[in-house]
């Protein structure tokens, strides 16, 4: 059973790498983490898809949401979930098609509600990797909020792409932000590997 799970994970990882899902960065903390805890309470902004997903089945809470909640618990930060009903009830196969089209068209899907970022110096931005970077709705958030001058910590869950192009995309959106400490973890591992998240968070002084 365990062997089958490992083979399935390997097949998905290879497939996602080969299908242009872009393994440009390793699946681990790959940027020098500085001590940012002294910059005050952080805001953790994230998107996560509950429902049918790779290797974890049909889940009530998405993989990135679990990591985001752990970050909030470990840092004492606030969270803002980028929510949309657009993907509700879609299978992962359907989602791949919808999200690919969104990426190709450079769409900026709407999300529900919003958050005032002005009181935060440190902002974590997280999401799953969809086709090599964050889902387009995360770009909608980034387009709407000027985070130049702030410290931004990108994070992602994925299966073969690590951080994909997320760091470049965040740096591109905010050329005058300090982008540090980026971290990724495999989505199917988040339920059993809080220790990796903790090591990363503690490494930034929290
Ligand atoms: C539409 C779609 C596209 C995906 N594209 C990639 C990808 O390019 N690379 C990768 O490693 N994983 C990819 N995945 C897997 C997700 O990144 C992974 O399952 C992630 O942990 C899901 O997080 P969530 O539960 O927070 O949404 C994709 C998943 C979906 C549904």
pLDDT at 3: 58
pLDDT at 199: 96
Domain ranges, residue 66: 2-202
pLDDT at 33: 59
State how far the alpha carbon of 131 is from the alpha carbons of 15, 19, 20, 46, 163, in Å. 12, 8, 7, 17, 11
CATH code at 197?
3.40.50.360
Chain length of the chain = 206
Q: Give the tokens for residue 183.
A: 């971290």
Cβ atoms of 67 and 197 closer than 8 Å: yes
* Ligand 1 atom with minimal separation from the 98 CA: 1
pLDDT at 134: 98
CB under 8 Å to 56, separation ≥6 — which residues?
63, 187, 188, 191
pLDDT at 28: 44
Beta bridge partners of 30: none
Residues of the chain with pLDDT under 70: 1-33
Domain count, the chain: 1
pLDDT at 53: 95
State how far the alpha carbon of 151 is from the alpha carbons of 2, 9, 124, 139, in Å. 40, 34, 8, 17
Q: 103 C-alpha to center of ligand 1: Å?
A: 14
pLDDT at 34: 74
3-class SS of residue 98: helix
Q: Ligand 1 pocket: which residues have CB below 6 Å?
A: 16, 21, 48-49, 53-54, 62-65, 92, 95-96, 99, 128-132, 157-161, 187
For the beta carbon of residue 177, count every other beta carbon within 10 angstroms: 17
- The candidate with the shortest Cα–Cα distance to 142, out of 174, 111, 110, 176, is 174
> Quick one: 85 exposed, middle or buried, by C-beta within 10 A (0-12, 13-18, 19+)?
exposed
**Residue 109 C-beta-side C-alpha neighbours within 13 Å:** 19
- The candidate with the shortest Cα–Cα distance to 204, out of 31, 11, 87, is 31
Terminal-to-terminal C-alpha distance of the chain: 38
pLDDT at 22: 42
pLDDT at 77: 98
Q: Over the stretch 112-133, which tens digit does the pLDDT of each residue have?
A: 999 999 999 999 999 999 999 9
Residue identifier of the C-alpha nearest atom 6 of ligand 1: 130
């Amino acid at each position: 059973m365990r062997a089958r799970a490992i083979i399935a994970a390997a097949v998905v990882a290879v497939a996602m790498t080969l299908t242009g899902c872009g393994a440009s960065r390793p699946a681990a903390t790959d940027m020098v983490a500085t001590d940012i805890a002294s910059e005050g309470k952080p805001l953790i902004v994230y998107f996560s898809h509950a429902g049918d997903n790779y290797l974890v089945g049909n889940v009530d809470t998405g993989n990135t949401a679990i990591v985001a909640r752990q970050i909030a618990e470990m840092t004492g930060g606030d969270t803002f979930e980028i929510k949309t009903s657009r993907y509700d009830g879609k299978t992962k196969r359907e989602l791949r098609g919808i999200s690919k089209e969104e990426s190709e068209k450079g769409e900026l899907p709407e999300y529900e509600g919003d958050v005032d970022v002005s009181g935060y110096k440190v902002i974590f931005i997280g999401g799953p990797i969809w086709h090599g970077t964050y889902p387009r709705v995360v770009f909608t958030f980034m387009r709407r909020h000027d985070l130049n001058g702030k410290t931004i910590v990108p994070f992602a869950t994925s299966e073969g792409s690590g951080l994909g192009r997320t760091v470049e995309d965040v740096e591109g959106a905010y050329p005058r932000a300090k982008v540090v400490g980026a971290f990724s973890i495999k989505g199917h591992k988040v339920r059993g590997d809080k220790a990796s998240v903790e090591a990363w968070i503690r490494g930034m002084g929290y």
